[in-house]
C-alpha cells in the first residue's frame, strides 16, 4: 500500500526539521558531508509540507571562477555536521569567473 499524503508530509517534515543548511557541489556528494562542496553553506527557511514536498526559501552562494556546480545538499550545520539529503540541480551551472548561484531547494518524497 502506498503512503498517504500525511505520511509523505511527515517524511519531508523530518528531513526539513533536521537540516536547514544548503551546500553546493561540483559532483555528486554520494552521501558524504562536504564532498566536492564549493562555496559556503547558506541557511534556508522551509515552507509547510504539501503533497510530499517542502520548498525552502531561495538561497545564494558565491562560487569561484572555473567551477561547474551540479548538485546541492541539505546539512545539519553551517560547517561540518551531517549531510541528510542531496540531489542534482535541474541543470549544471558553469562559472567562467566568480559569481553567485541562486537556488530554491525542494524536498520531494514519493
Full DSSP string of 15-63 = HHHH--EEEEESS--TT-TTTTEEEEEEE--BPPPBTTEEEBPPEEEEE
Q: Are 95 and 62 in contact (CB under 8 A)?
A: no
pLDDT at position 1 = 61
Within a 10 A sphere around the Cβ of 18, how many other Cβ atoms? 14
Domain that holds residue 66: 5-108
Number of structural domains found in the chain: 1
pLDDT at position 52 = 95
Walk along the chain (110 residues) and give the pLDDT tens digit of each residue: 688 999 999 999 999 999 999 999 999 998 676 789 999 999 999 999 999 999 999 999 999 999 999 999 999 999 988 999 999 999 999 999 999 999 999 999 98
Residue 6 in grid coordinates: 500525511
pLDDT at position 25 = 96
Amino acid at each position: 500500500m502506498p503512503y498517504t499524503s500525511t505520511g509523505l508530509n511527515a517524511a519531508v517534515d523530518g528531513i526539513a526539521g533536521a537540516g536547514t543548511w544548503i551546500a553546493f557541489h561540483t559532483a555528486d556528494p554520494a552521501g558524504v558531508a562536504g564532498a566536492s562542496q564549493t562555496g559556503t553553506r547558506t541557511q534556508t527557511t522551509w515552507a509547510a509540507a504539501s503533497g510530499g514536498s517542502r520548498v525552502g526559501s531561495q538561497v545564494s552562494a558565491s562560487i569561484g571562477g572555473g567551477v561547474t556546480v551540479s548538485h546541492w545538499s541539505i546539512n545539519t550545520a553551517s560547517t561540518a555536521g551531517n549531510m541528510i539529503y542531496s540531489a542534482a540541480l535541474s541543470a549544471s551551472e558553469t562559472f567562467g569567473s566568480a559569481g553567485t548561484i541562486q537556488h530554491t531547494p525542494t524536498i520531494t518524497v514519493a
